[in-house]
Structure 1
Amino acid sequence: MLSSQVDARAKRQAFRAGLESGRLQRFPGAFTPLTAPLIQELGFEGAYISGAVMAAELGLPDIGLTTLTEVVQRGHQISRMTDLPTLIDADTGFGEPMNVARTVHELEDAGVAGLHIEDQVNPKRCGHLDGKEVVSADVAAQRIAAAVKARRDPGLVIMARTDVRGTVPGEQGLSLAVDRAKALEAVGADAIFPEAMQSLAEFEAIRAAVKVPILANMTEFGKSRLFTHEELEGVGVNLVIHPVSLLRIAMGAIERGLVDLRDSGTLDGQLDGMQTRARLYELNDYASYSAFDQTLFDFEVPGTHE
């Protein structure tokens, strides 16, 4: 009721244990607080909080227009609703090293278990679009070093994302990604997020280059084929995110429903695909609120057919 009873430090330790377990950690993107308990209930290891999704929910493109305040607020809203660890997209850290340090403090206070900071220039672009530019290796390292130094809870996972693979085609781009992953590990990154890998072999190359855990981004309509969890685990990937998937599923259903409503004047034909009232109340834990204070919530939770 109200929020998770598991504190942030425990979630961070669980995240680290999962990354070291040898089992692939599966983090679907929680695009609203309500999706977080559902992700937990269905047996996933954690929830991802996507910057692209946060921008999209505000009607903005994913080009660095969201503010630190907006990201922190969403991180807190989602993290408090699940016992699972959450990993949040901190874009480029919202500025230079001192800004990065403040970003770490704010997100730490929001209760996330980990965050990743990327090496794109400002304004950034979606990681699976062409035309990206990255900062120098020195600047990228300064961002991660600042994040590591600013961390107050040693359990907080500081992940370094590199977009350099998408800036140069062919083997040269992969070679640059390998070199940068090594450099970011050397300044204290707890994990590496190599963006826009184009094959399992490329993930294998990153895996061989660093000792820390690595992440695979399985975003639809992107540069990477949608590898299965079994395939990713087989090449040594430790963590997979599906950042925008639930938003895409939901928005697809919303658009189809609106078309049906416009054309037929009713949503009766959509009922079989809707979440029932009872299921919504179950996820919102109405029964606990009612038991806690019946002077405020004096009702019976409806049956599953409603």
Structure 2
Amino acid sequence: MGNLLGTAGTPRKRLRELLAAGPPLVAPGAYDALSARLVEQAGFDVVYMTGFGTTASLIGRPDVGLLSAAEMIDNATRIVSAVDVPVIADADTGYGNAINVVRTVRAYEQAGVAAIHLEDQVMPKKCGHMSGKAVISREEMVGKISAAAAARRDPDFVLIARTDAAAVHGLDDALGRAKAYADAGADVLFVEAPTSEESIERVATELRGVAPLVFNWAEGGRTPPLPLSRITDLGFSLVLYPIGTLLAATAGIRSLLDVIRRDGTPAAALPGVPTFDEFTTLIGLPEVSELEQRFSGE
């Protein structure tokens, strides 16, 4: 767990090993440092920083391009510092043109994330499972991916190229874009929001061998919710569950507030939530107590 005095590891190299290992790497979404710690404590090997969840948690608004690069990178920095497993972060469109992408890649590297994904939407973007998206030209995005590949200082830093073109120009265009982005230097390919199992199969078949593939199991989104066994059979390397933690937290908070409004106190809801001591242990109070003793000077 991201201990205060934890030793620096090699999460980027570890992510590459996990992606190459065979079974799909499962990455639940985290929207803040606490949810990231919970993902790690549940035994998952990687954390995904969701842009949808980051936007909702930071400003209480939808994922329609309202956050700046600085706000996203600040959240990524906090998440990375809270866990020891690799963190994959949403980097939206790269926040501008190819030159902006250079700075974005450098900043996410400095934040300590193991990977980012960049998408080919027009800025300001929208969540990949919303309507009304627009995409930049294939040529412009190729330039942005090329800039990202040239900008990274650590060769193990993983670049994921996402295309949202299927909803705008059709799946043929999305597949062509994905291949072009791989040629430009992307390590992993992410075709967003296929809307049928047949489309998912085409993505898996036509991009097999080009690069490892992402399956975005967006809870309640436009993509059919395939079983993990089927996703495995199709050959996807990374499965994102981006907003389940956010939705669960929302449901839990609503439930607690309903009890308080009904009863005047939260007492009836407390049996279903962690105790005070359980929660302080979860977030690392025993480590703090140990360090206080170690550095007390007595």
Q: What is the TM-score normalised by the length of structure 2?
A: 0.93
* CA displacement at 1:5 relative to structure 2: 2.6
Shift in Å at residue 125 of structure 1?
1.1
Per-residue displacement from partner, 1:130-159 (whole Å, max 9, x unpaired)? 111111110111111111010000000011
Distance 1:280 1:39 in 2: 15
What is the aligned length? 291
Corresponding residue of 2:8: 6
Question: Partners of 1:296 and 1:250 in 2: how far apart?
Answer: 36
Task: Write out aligned runs for 1:63-74 (5 A).
Answer: 63-74=64-75
Percent identity, aligned pairs only, is 36
Deviations 1:225-281 (Å, cap 9, x if unpaired)?
222222211111110111111011001111121122112112111112212223212
CA distance in 1, matches of 2:110, 2:28: 22
Counterpart in the other structure of 2:19: 19
Give distance in 1, aligned partners of 2:5 and 2:104. 23
201, 204, 207: which one pairs with 1:207?
204
Give the match for residue 182 of structure 1: 179
CA shift, 1:283, in A, is 1.9
Gaps of 5+ in 1: 298-306
Deviation of 1:70 after TM superposition, in Å, equals 0.7
SS in 1 for 2:118: strand
Corresponding residue for residue 273 of structure 1: 272
1:38-95 CA-partner distances (Å, limit 9, x unpaired) = 2222221200001111111112221111011111111010011111111100000000
Question: For the Cα contact (< 8 Å) 1:3–1:81, is it kept in 2?
Answer: no
Letter in 2 for 1:38: L
Q: Residue type of the partner of 2:180?
A: A
**Stretch moving more, 205-214 or 124-133:** 205-214
Instruction: Tell me, yes or no, if structure 1 residue 226 matches structure 2 residue 225.
Output: yes
Aligned counterparts of 1:143 and 1:190: Cα–Cα separation in 2: 14
AA of the residue aligned to 2:78:
Q
Query: What SS does structure 1 have at the residue aligned with 2:160?
Result: strand
Q: Distance in 2 between matches of 1:230 and 1:44?
A: 17
Q: Is the 8 A contact 1:181 1:209 kept in 2?
A: no
CA contact (8 A) 1:199 1:225 kept: yes
Match of residue 258 from structure 2: 259
Matched residue type, 1:5 = T
SS in 2 for 1:123: coil
In structure 2, the CA distance between the partners of 1:224 and 1:84, relative to structure 1 (3 Å rule), is same
- Contact 2:197/2:224 (8 A) holds in 1: no
Matched residue SS, 2:33? coil
The aligned counterpart of 1:283 is 282
Is residue 32–residue 54 contact of structure 2 (8 Å, CA) maintained in 1? no
Contact persistence 1:4–1:82 (CA under 8 A):
no
Find out whether 1:249 has 2:248 as its counterpart.
yes
The structural deviation recorded for 1:4 is: 4.5
Q: Which residue of 1 aligns with 2:215?
A: 216
Write the deviation string for residues 100-149 of structure 1: whole angstroms up to 9, x where unpaired: 00000000000000000000001111110111111111011111111101
Q: Determine the structure 2 residue equivalent to 1:302.
A: none
Partner residue of 1:303?
Answer: none
The 5 Å alignment of 1:190-201 reads 190-201=187-198
Which residue is equivalent to 1:148? 149
Partner Cα separation in structure 1 for residue 197 and residue 18 of structure 2: 22
3-state SS in 1 of match to 2:108: helix
Counterparts of 2:275 and 2:213, CA distance in 1: 38
RMSD of aligned alpha carbons: 1.6
Change (3 A) 1:277 1:90: same
CA distance in structure 2 between the aligned counterparts of 1:201 and 1:115, rounded to whole angstroms: 28
Alpha-carbon distance between aligned partners in 1 of 2:27 and 2:43, rounded to the nearest angstrom: 10
- One-letter amino acid of the counterpart of residue 250, structure 1: A
| Unmatched runs of 5 consecutive residues or more in structure 2 | none
Q: Which amino acid aligns with 1:59?
A: G
Q: Check conservation: 1:159, 1:189, Cα contact below 8 A.
A: yes
